[in-house]
């Protein structure tokens, strides 16, 4: 998945916004909470939230590490876009979106109609 495919997929999810933060990071959020972060400078590096039970299993495998500054919140970084298949990318991005959305206050979810 390249940056344009990543962008198109993330923006296809309900109530997602995009922004550039910290100079060179493309950030996707739901209810103003990040669920995906991608470096704009090559090579493509993408970070996202995973369930606690998957964190240890994924972090430290080939081309996947604990996300700097976000690891305590169970985020991983994929260092090589070919490490995951298209289906895996979509699964992990949807999962991250759902994990973050679930933590939003009820009032925020209702206002976003998600």
Decide: residue 45, CB within 10 A, 0-12 exposed, 13-18 middle, 19+ buried.
buried
Predicted confidence pLDDT, tens digits, the chain (114 residues): 999 999 999 999 999 999 999 989 999 999 999 999 999 998 999 999 999 999 999 998 899 999 998 989 999 999 999 999 999 999 999 999 999 999 999 999 999 888
Q: Which residue pairs from 3-7 have beta carbons closer than 8 angstroms and sit at least 24 positions apart in sequence?
A: 3/38, 3/40, 3/44, 5/86, 6/36, 6/38, 6/44, 6/46, 6/89, 6/93
Q: Is 94 helix (H, G, I), strand (E, B) or coil?
A: helix
CATH class of 3-107: alpha beta
Q: Given this model, what pLDDT does residue 7 score?
A: 97
Q: Quote the pLDDT of residue 8.
A: 97
């Amino acid at each position: 998945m390249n940056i344009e495919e990543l962008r198109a997929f993330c923006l296809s999810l309900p109530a997602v916004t995009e922004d550039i933060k910290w100079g060179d990071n493309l950030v996707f959020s739901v209810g103003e909470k990040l669920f995906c972060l991608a470096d704009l400078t090559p090579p493509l590096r993408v970070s996202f939230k995973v369930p606690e039970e998957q964190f240890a299993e994924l972090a430290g495998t080939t081309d996947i590490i604990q996300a700097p500054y976000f690891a305590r919140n169970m985020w991983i970084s994929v260092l090589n876009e070919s490490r995951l298949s298209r289906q895996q990318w979509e699964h992990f991005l949807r999962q991250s979106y759902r994990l973050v959305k679930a933590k939003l206050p009820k009032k925020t979810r209702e206002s976003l109609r998600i």
